[in-house]
Amino acid sequence: MKRLSMKASTTVLVMLCLMYFITYIDRVNVSTAAGQFKTELGLSNTQLGVVFSAFGYPYVIFQFIGGWIGDRFGARRTLLVCASIWALATVLTGMAGGLVSLIAARLLLGLGEGATFPAATSAMGAWIPREKRGMAQGITHSAARFGNAVAPMIVLAIMTAFDWRTSFYVMGVVSAVWLVAWYFCYTELPADHPRITAQELESLPKPKVRRVDPPGTWARLYRRMAPVSAVYFCYNWTLWLMLSWMPLYFMHSFNLDIKKAVIFTSGVFIAGVVGDLVGGMVSDRLLTRTRNLKIARSYLVAGCMALTALSLLPVLLVNDPFHALIFLGAAMFFNEMTVGPMWAVPMDVANERAGTASGIMSGTGVTAALISPVVAGFIADRLGNWNITFMVSVGVMVVGTVLCFLMKPDVPFQEKLSTLPTGEKSSPATTSAFFADKQPRQAS
């Protein structure tokens, strides 16, 4: 039985993977169900775009707040509250009777899921060794993309057997089950976990020191994370275009029925699953070999964004769904390769405030979720094709490629300004400090 049991840190990572998987099904299942409720509720493409993007407004706000809450009150309590809210919102989506109630349920879902990823990053800051953070972020986000990939099939199967409303009721119950499991599986401090060993504890970062931030700390951290946030915005622009519109894109562009459109959509998202895993592994391997955070984070993300833009260009010319699948899958793959290194950057820059820093990055970046789906729906209504939408995404990815060189993941955030005597300068922290925290500790 001991051979079959997982390490405590592995259990935490598995629970976070399940959370990412469930939350992404809960947030994108509406795009598959839209094939039924659009007709039932009499909605236009523009109104559908509003429904898709409604999730993003509270989500953006609570990315900022949730990151700080996760650092201040701990990931355990933060995610228990979040899970309660998103489970309720999922059930209420199935009970919606029109445009207003759909929007209200999506707003509540954004409220519940807003703090989840920053709080999870705060948990990983305590439970994941520094040199494995890119891989951990890649694994958890690959679980999210796997949720994207299987959500259309799960929702379609339930819709076929019952109706679109039942698919939301089922996922609400699944979310509640995860909530109970998180309550019993996670401890805020690794040393408090009943199955932690001294050997495993020695490999983990030192416990975070929780203290009151000096005045202006949040504003300074926001400025420090601004280039990272801008790059993440560019990533999210293409991501949310695909999350929201892929089923309807395949249906309308190639005259496919919903079953075939779901299969093609799942193929695109499966490419994203692989991209998340590969990006995290490559980032950590580059860091181990070069000990250079710019190479492992910034340069890798820049290369992947450039390849995403190049992969989208042929989509403008294809007339066959299989060719579209190949190029959209390639774009999804390279776009998702950026996720592991991007989410490792807040931990590199501000370890003790990893939740707050990741909330700033994600909250600013995910504003693309408010714009991209609506722009795509508007263009689809006015022009009846998707070429302009993909051209805009190409331009956004080119901008993101350039901004990558401003991220500076090798320069840690300093809590307060230097108090050295006049004329004396402090040397900036370098990547070598990233590997310095290796002192052994004893399990309590």
Task: Give residue 431's Cα distance to chain centre.
Answer: 25
pLDDT of residue 178: 95
pLDDT of residue 419: 38
pLDDT of residue 309: 95
pLDDT of residue 10: 84
pLDDT of residue 211: 59
pLDDT of residue 424: 39
Nearest to 359 by CA among 238, 237, 232, 234: 232
Residue listed under structure tokens 């590199």: 348
Q: What is the pLDDT along the chain (444 residues), one digit of tens a residue?
A: 344 457 888 888 899 999 999 988 887 778 778 877 877 887 777 787 788 778 878 887 887 787 778 778 888 899 999 999 999 999 998 888 888 888 999 999 988 888 888 888 888 877 887 778 778 888 888 888 788 778 877 888 888 888 888 888 999 999 999 999 999 888 888 888 888 888 777 777 676 655 566 777 778 888 989 999 999 999 999 988 887 778 778 887 788 887 788 788 888 888 988 998 899 889 989 988 988 889 999 999 999 999 999 999 998 888 888 998 999 999 999 999 998 899 889 888 887 777 788 888 988 888 887 788 778 778 777 776 678 888 889 999 999 999 999 998 888 887 654 433 334 343 444 444 445 444 444 433
What does the alpha-carbon distance between residue 380 and residue 356 come to, in Å, rounded to a whole number?
37
What does the alpha-carbon distance between residue 228 and residue 407 come to, in Å, rounded to a whole number?
5
355, 119 contact by CB (below 8 A): yes
| Element (DSSP H or E) covering residue 318 | none
Q: Which DSSP string corresponds to 225-283?
A: HHHHHHHHHHHHHHHHHHHHHHHHHHHHHHT--HHHHHHHHHHHHHHHHHHHHHHHHHH
9, 127 contact by CB (below 8 A): yes
What does the alpha-carbon distance between residue 19 and residue 17 come to, in Å, rounded to a whole number?
5
Task: Give residue 264's Cα distance to chain centre.
Answer: 22
Q: Which DSSP string corresponds to 342-407?
A: HHHHHHHH-GGGHHHHHHHHHHHHTTHHHHHHHHHHHHHHHHSSSHHHHHHHHHHHHHHHHHGGG-
Indicate the pTM of the whole model.
0.72
Q: Is 265 left (phi over 0), alpha (psi -120 to 50) or beta?
A: alpha
pLDDT of residue 109: 92
pLDDT of residue 443: 39
Number of Cβ within 10 Å of residue 24's Cβ equals 23
pLDDT of residue 288: 86
Is the domain spanning 8-188+220-416 CATH 1.20.1090.10? The answer is: no
258, 244 contact by CB (below 8 A): no
378, 249 contact by CB (below 8 A): no
What does the alpha-carbon distance between residue 151 and residue 18 come to, in Å, rounded to a whole number?
14
Tokens representing 81?
Answer: 């509250």
What does the alpha-carbon distance between residue 27 and residue 110 come to, in Å, rounded to a whole number?
8
210, 72 contact by CB (below 8 A): yes
430, 410 contact by CB (below 8 A): yes
Residue listed under structure tokens 């946030």: 229
pLDDT of residue 429: 44
Angle at 296 between CA 294 and CA 297, to 5 degrees: 65
